[in-house]
Amino acid sequence: MKSAVEPLKARRIYLLLRDRIVAGELPPGARLPGEPTLAAEHAVSRVTVRRALDLLEKEGLVQRKPGSGTFVHDTRTVRPIVADLSNVLSHLIDMGRSTDVRLLSFGYLVPSDTIAASLGLRPGERVQRSVRVRLIDGEPFSYLTTHVPEWIGLTYSEAELAARPLLELIERSGVETDRATQAINATLAGPEAAAALDLEIGSPLLTLTRIVYEPSGRGVEHLHAQYRPDRYSFHMDLVRTGNDGERRWSPALGWPRSSDKNKADKTNKGKSGEKPTRAPRVIKQRS
C-alpha cells in the first residue's frame, strides 16, 4: 500500500511547487527549499521529494546544481502562444509560417461516424488523416490531429504537409473556407500526446475541436488540437452591449491591444478635430 501512495504524494508536491512557479511566487533563479526542508514541510520522505523534483526537472521548470541546490529555471525564453477567439480563421496561414511543424503520421482511412458526420461525408468515404506537432522556439506546444476529405487530401503530398500550413494547402486546392465552429475543453495527456509534448502522462491539456466549412456548408477540415497550457492560451476582448436591464458581454471585434493603439495614434496624429481610430486587430490564431 505504501508503495502505491508514495507516487501520489510525490505528484501532489510536484503540482504544488509547479503552481507556485507558474504563478510567479517562485521567480526564475529562486532557490527551492532543500530536500530535508520540503520533506518535513509535507511530512514525506526525501525519496518522495526527490521524485517530485525529478518531475519538475523533466518539465524544464527547475535546474539542479550539485552542491548548490535546486533553482527555478527561466522559461521566459519560450514565448507563450495567445489565440484570439474573436476571429477563428484569421492569420492561420501566417501562424503556420512562423512556427515549426513535425509531421508524425500521414495516411488515408475511413473515419469514425462522428468525424464523418461533422464533415458531411457519405458512408465509406475516406479522409486524409495526419498527426502533427507544432513548435515555437524549438519547444512543442500543440499536438494536432486533422481529418480532411480524401478529394482534398489528394491535392497535396506528405512532404508538402510537413512544410506548409494545412489551410494554405486546402485553399490551394480551390476550396474557399467560409466559416468554422469550435469547442474548447480540457483533458489529460495520453501516452502519445504526452510523448509529443514532452509531458508526463496524465498532465492537464487544453483541447480544441474545430470544423472548417466552405460556403456550401460542406466540411473541409476536422481538427482536434491538444495544447500545453503553459505555452498556449485563448484570449477574447469583451464589451458591454444592450439596453438597460439587458446588458451583456459581447465579443469586441477590432479592439486594439496597446501596441495597436499606439500605431493608430501615430497614424491619426495631426489630424485636427479627429479622434484616433481603432486599428485593426492583428492577433495570430495559433493552431
Q: For residue 95, what pLDDT band results from cuts at 50, 70 and 90?
A: low
Note whether 26 and 159 are same-domain residues.
no
Range of the structural domain that residue 96 is part of: 81-235
Same domain, 13 and 124: no
* Chain CA centroid to CA 225, Å: 8
Based on the fold, state whether residues 22 and 57 are members of the same structural domain: yes
Residues 104 and 188 in one domain: yes
pLDDT > 80? residue 150: yes
My answer on whether 65 and 117 are in the same domain is no
Q: How far apart are CA 220 and CA 212, in angstroms?
A: 6
- CA-to-CA distance for 17 and 139, rounded, in angstroms? 22
* Mean pLDDT score, 193-221: 91
Residues 122 and 218 in one domain: yes
Q: Is 70 exceeded by the pLDDT of residue 159?
A: yes
- Contact between residue 62 and residue 72 where contact means Cβ atoms under 8 Å apart: yes
The answer to whether residues 35 and 60 belong to one domain is: yes
Same domain for 97 and 181?
yes
Domain boundary among 41, 72, 103: 72
Domains in the chain: how many in total? 2
How far is 51 from 64, CA to CA, in rounded Å? 13
Distances (CA, A) of 278 to 173, 188, 236, 237, 249: 35, 40, 16, 14, 20
**Domain co-membership, 112 together with 213:** yes
As given in the structure block, the three cell numbers for residue 183 are 469547442
| CA distances to 123, 134, 164, 220, 248 from 96, in Å | 32, 9, 7, 18, 35
Residue 101 placed within a domain: yes
Q: What is the CATH number of the domain that holds 99?
A: 3.40.1410.10
For residue 249, tell me if it sits in a domain.
no
**Looking at residues 51-72, what average pLDDT do you find?**
89
Q: How close are the terminal C-alpha atoms of the chain, in Å?
A: 43
Rounded distance, CA 91 to CA 100, Å?
A: 15
φ/ψ (deg, to 5) at 202: 95, 0
* pLDDT value of position 121: 95
- Can you read off the three cell numbers belonging to residue 40? 518535513
Q: Same structural domain for residues 96 and 60?
A: no
Residues 63 and 95 in one domain: no
Q: Determine, yes or no, domain membership for 157.
A: yes
CATH of the domain at 48: 1.10.10.10
> Are 16 and 104 within one domain?
no
pLDDT at 75 exceeding the cut of 90: no
The conformation of residue 75, written as its DSSP 8-state character, comes to -
Torsion, Cα of 81, 85, 88, 94 (10° steps): -30
